Amino acid sequence: MMRYLGDRPRLVLAAMALVLAAILATLLLMDRGMRERAVDMFGYGGEHSDESYGGRDLFHTGVPIRSELAGETYAAYDARRDASSPQGAFRGFPCLGTCDVYAAGYNWAARQRLNEPLQCRGPSWPFVEGCAAYVLAAAPTGAGL
């Protein structure tokens, strides 16, 4: 029976390997915005599902969130805010306490004329979210932010 199959199993495996390589190459060669949209199709799709109030956050915006500010990671800050059921918001970002620090970050970004999410930095996550609110609002329509 194996005599009739010949090299077919090897050809099928080779074809599957080529398809997988093509998919990986496509993902690697996509521009950043396109890659993020592809990632969004398979997982993240807008506001995080744990955001019961529907507020914005910095995940998937391009704003650097890997460090700690005021001794807290962004994920810990966001979880603490989620648990507090915020009442007010600044440009879509739910305020933890007053929105004054968010406004300060927004005004700082405006004075600096920032135009890239990577440029947002500051002493606290609310300040950085205010900066992000300015940068994301100033982004051209369709920029994927």
Segment 20-74, tens digit of pLDDT = 888 777 767 766 666 555 554 444 444 444 444 456 778 878 888 888 998 999 8
Residue ranges in the chain assigned as alpha helix (H): 2-5, 8-29, 32-41, 74-84, 100-112, 125-138
Q: How far apart are CA 10 and CA 68, in angstroms?
A: 51
Residue 73 CB coordination number (10 Å): 14
Q: Residue written as tokens 């932010």?
A: 145
Q: Please give the Cα distance from 13 to 5 (Å, whole number).
A: 14
The pairing of strands 72-73 and 89-90 is unpaired
**Reported confidence tier of residue 105, pLDDT bands at 50, 70, 90:** very high
- Contact between residue 102 and residue 77 where contact means Cβ atoms under 8 Å apart: no
Query: What is the rounded CA–CA span in Å between residue 32 and residue 24?
Result: 15
Tokens of 33: 């915005």
Work out the pLDDT band at 99, boundaries 50, 70, 90: very high
